[in-house]
């Protein structure tokens, strides 16, 4: 692999992480973004990478969500955040 390819892959990975972090920062606030039309349900779907209807710690970490934020969202303490917990 040449250096141009490595730089391109690195830049793509960093941009992807930045997008997920933006979703994570807005996580669970119940608002709809008037510019993009996104809401909690679509943000939840982005973070719920395997589509099982709940967010586990690995999915949360992949989205840049801190452990303390995850734990505060996990109201019943079962180790996952359901969509209803997410929406608060």
Domains of the chain (ranges plus CATH)? 3-27+39-87 (1.10.238.10)
Q: Specify the pLDDT at position 87.
A: 85
Judge whether residue 50 has pLDDT over 50.
yes
Say whether 87 sits in a helix, a strand or coil.
Answer: helix
Confidence of residue 72 (pLDDT cuts 50, 70, 90): very high
pLDDT tens digit sequence for 33-43: 444 444 567 88
What is this structure's pTM? Answer: 0.56
Q: Specify the pLDDT at position 59.
A: 92
Rounded to an integer, what distance in angstroms lies between the CA atom of residue 74 and that of residue 10?
Answer: 33
Judge whether residue 48 has pLDDT over 80.
yes
Burial class of 44 by CB neighbour count within 10 A (0 to 12, 13 to 18, 19+): buried
């Amino acid at each position: 692999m040449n250096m141009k390819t490595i730089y391109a892959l690195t830049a793509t990975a960093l941009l992807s992480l930045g997008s997920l972090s933006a979703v994570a920062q807005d996580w669970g606030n119940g608002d709809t973004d008037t510019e993009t039309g996104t809401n909690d349900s679509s943000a939840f779907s982005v973070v719920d990478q395997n589509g099982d209807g709940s967010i586990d710690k690995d999915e949360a970490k992949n989205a840049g969500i801190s452990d303390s934020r995850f734990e505060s969202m996990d109201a019943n303490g079962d180790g996952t955040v359901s969509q209803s917990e997410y929406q608060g």
